[in-house]
Structure 1
């Protein structure tokens, strides 16, 4: 999955979490969170690679194989969450009250869409 797509999915998760928090604050609604959980699970299922472990692999070989295969996906997710956090933190730290977190995430999603097809990760598919 391209990094821009991972970033957009992370933004979706953060947006849903913000909406859920707002509903709780406004209405006291604490309904089921199936949507948020489903979105996170879907992202993990799509970013984590399928790993075939040979039946005769030792525990060390299994650990090495899993670390190698899963490491890239984890780096992608951490990078996307980190970028979203930094964007939100910069607005917070600037004290700007005229920009909401939803505005920041929307701008970040637009920039991710514009970046789609650019850079080295675009040729990996």
Structure 2
């Protein structure tokens, strides 16, 4: 996959995950929204042809699942940073926010 295509798909992941992020804020104890599947499908497209040969179906499925989860977490952090930026907040730097998220994750706060 060419870099331009990859960039386009990453933008798609971030765009689609924006709704997922807003859903989490609306109902932090709810189930994973449907957009989580969309992110998984976009990640599957990114991985198409990039997986090593010789993987069992189970290994491939787990690799795809783990990659989709990793991409979802990156998207979640992106949206957290974007929310602070879009609100025009100057009292919190991106480094401060990342430290807050790390502490929250360390103490079980996770993504919601």
Q: TM-score range by the shorter chain?
A: 0.3 to 0.5
Higher Cα Rg: structure 1 or 2?
Answer: 1
Q: Report the TM-score when normalising by structure 1.
A: 0.40
